[in-house]
Amino acid sequence: VDAEHHARDDDRAALVLENLSIDYPKRGRVPAFRAVADASLTLQPGEVLGLVGESGSGKTTIARAIVGLVPIAEGQLRVAGQQMLGVDPKELRAVRRKLGIVFQDPGSSLNPRWPVGASIGEPLDLAGVDRKEISTRVVELLDLVELPRDFRNRYPHELSGGQRQRIGIARALA
């Protein structure tokens, strides 16, 4: 019964890594090396996961594999139900539309020349959402991250680090 329950959970999971290994190829004088070895985890919809470890432990490499930026050497990786091993470009684009990344340094992830409302709305614009819907959604996202609606007209340098991080979260949710 436990195995059956586990299999159903894995089918609905937002993210599944099973015995995942990732290698970086030889580059110049730097020899090839295994950046991640035998990593496994399951993340259900609505769950939050903090991946911690020392510098060089593979946290960023795992994140890059999840969004399809680095190839998988061994194991299985499913993101939003899509098998990522051998994924074709069209399927990869569809998976990426379902993902949002919140960067560690919010200041460097926002364009300093754009008001933050434009930064929040950019992913929606790239997805082909019309301007009126974008405007409505930006207001909803500011409400969701508990920032005043008039922040949409402010620039990143006018906000605190915590406020910029909330803008980054709103952008990821967009």
Burial (CB < 10 A; 0-12, 13-18, 19+), residue 87, is: middle
pLDDT lower than 50: segments of the chain:
1-2, 5-7
Order of strands, sheet of 74-79, starting from the edge strand that comes earlier in the sequence: 33-43, 15-24, 74-79, 82-83
* Token couple for 62: 């795992």
Burial (CB < 10 A; 0-12, 13-18, 19+), residue 118, is: middle
CB 61 within 8 A of CB 22: yes
120-133 pLDDT tens trace: 999 899 888 999 99
pLDDT at 40: 95
pLDDT at 4: 52
pLDDT at 5: 47
pLDDT at 54: 93
pLDDT at 132: 93
- Going through the chain in order, the beta strands assigned E by DSSP cover 15-24, 33-43, 74-79, 82-83
